[in-house]
Amino acid sequence: MSTLQISLAVAGGLVLAGIVAHSAWSSRKNTPRQADPEAPIAPSASSSSSLDDAGEQREPVFDAAMSFDGESLSDLPHLPTADKRLGLDALIDVIAPLTLDAPIYGEAALTAMPATRRAGSKPFAIEGQNAATRCWETPAAGQRYSSFQAGVQMANRTGALNEIEYSEFVMKAQTFADAINAATDFPEMLDAVAHARELDQFASSHDAHLGFSLRALQAAWSPGYIQQCAARQGFVLGAIPGRMVLPAATAGLPPVLNLVFDPQAALAQDPAQSAVREVALNLEVPHVDRSESPFVRLREIAQMLAEAMDGVVTDGNGQPLQSEAMDQIGSELEQLYDALDARDFSAGSGLARRLFS
């Protein structure tokens, strides 16, 4: 064999070895990072949900414990419990008194209750004043009520109460009043609608939803790897695939933060082979009490996850977020919190969760 042939053979061998090595390196690089099999992934939040079967968020109701987008945290016994009473309030509801000549039993009221608790897109409710306790409550069997009141929410994220919705409210309340022989006194429609529009304008200018993205710099992540890293920061699995939540300090309240990634990756036949390159961290500002320091925690957790997962924190346009930008966001949030407090719609309160829903 000539020297040229030997040289070509050696060169060919080196090229082949390089191709094999590059292929192995590329395969390893593209393999999603996997969870530590000896470490727990993440506990699960209760599946008690405010979602309907189609996955759409239900409107918070006046007399129910609040939950957030499928995440009820009532299965955490060590946490304090939120106030379960969210009754009619003149700050957010149009209220019409229904006057009785004599007290009636709850059974009669329940029989006359409307079939739905909505007037158009707005929550509608009827409350009775308990003859024994003098407290307003949702009518219940076995109790006697000396008077009633009907109310409809003036604004939510669908907009302000309009004339058609107000008319539907009046019709439902009047039908109930007729059934229990109660006299009615409805506010003027034009005044109610004007008040609703003013409240909606306030809500529209003080609503805020913050979202950071965490993007992989090199190797992608498997769902299990994401869940394991997030669990170390206090997140628990949500009821929806590809979703985790950071529980609030009070059971029954919305979570402080949400972590979301591709649900199809979580539902894959072999999730370990699903490659996820982006995770979203979200804060629903009006739903979380400022005492939880939600933005501070969002910022810290995003940075810790980026360091642990070899990622970078970006805005919605994929631009890396610098400290100066986060400082500015934090300053603007404090002003927003102050404005909500001044209007008695403090972030995390029942009224705020109803208004911004």
Q: What is the pLDDT at residue 32? A: 83
The distance of Cα 315 from the centroid of its chain, to the nearest Å, equals: 20
Compute CA distances 232 → 148, 222, 228, 271, whole Å. 50, 16, 7, 20
Compute CA distances 113 → 128, 185, 324, whole Å. 11, 18, 55
What does the pLDDT average to over 57-69? 35
Q: What is the pLDDT at residue 77? A: 36
| Beta pairing class for 243-246 and 257-260 | antiparallel
* Model confidence at 84: pLDDT above 50: no
Q: Which among 298, 294, 288 has a CA at the least distance from the CA of 353?
A: 288
Count other C-beta atoms under 10 Å from residue 91's C-beta.
Answer: 13
Q: What is the pLDDT at residue 20? A: 47
Beta bridge partners of 103: none
* Model confidence at 22: pLDDT above 50: no
- Taken in order of first residue, the domains within the chain and their CATH numbers are 93-204 (3.30.1400.10), 207-355 (3.30.1400.10)
Q: Which among 93, 231, 228 has a CA at the least distance from the CA of 173?
A: 93
Q: What is the pLDDT at residue 29? A: 55
What does the pLDDT average to over 191-205? 98
Residues 245-264: tens digit of each pLDDT: 999 999 889 999 999 999 99
Q: Which among 209, 235, 211 has a CA at the least distance from the CA of 223?
A: 235
Q: What is the pLDDT at residue 6? A: 56
Q: How far, in Å, CA of 67 to CA of 352, rounded?
A: 13
What does the pLDDT average to over 187-211? 97
Beta bridge partners of 147: 99, 129
Mean pLDDT of the chain: 85
| Helix H or strand E encompassing 9 | helix 3-30
Q: How far, in Å, CA of 57 to CA of 53, rounded?
A: 10
Q: How far, in Å, CA of 4 to CA of 159, rounded?
A: 82
Q: How far, in Å, CA of 254 to CA of 67, rounded?
A: 5
Proportion of the chain above pLDDT 90, given as a percent: 71
More confident residue, 21 or 227: 227
68, amino acid identity: F
Q: What is the pLDDT at residue 54? A: 37
Q: What is the pLDDT at residue 264? A: 93
Proportion of the chain above pLDDT 70, given as a percent: 78
pTM of the full structure: 0.78
Cβ atoms of 253 and 66 closer than 8 Å: yes
* Model confidence at 290: pLDDT above 90: yes
Extended strands (E) in 117-272: 118-119, 122-130, 136-137, 144-153, 155-156, 159-160, 183-184, 209-216, 236-237, 243-246, 257-260
* Model confidence at 47: pLDDT above 80: no
* Model confidence at 208: pLDDT above 70: yes
Count other C-beta atoms under 10 Å from residue 324's C-beta.
Answer: 8
* Model confidence at 74: pLDDT above 60: no
Cβ atoms of 216 and 278 closer than 8 Å: yes
267 pLDDT band (50/70/90 cuts)? very high
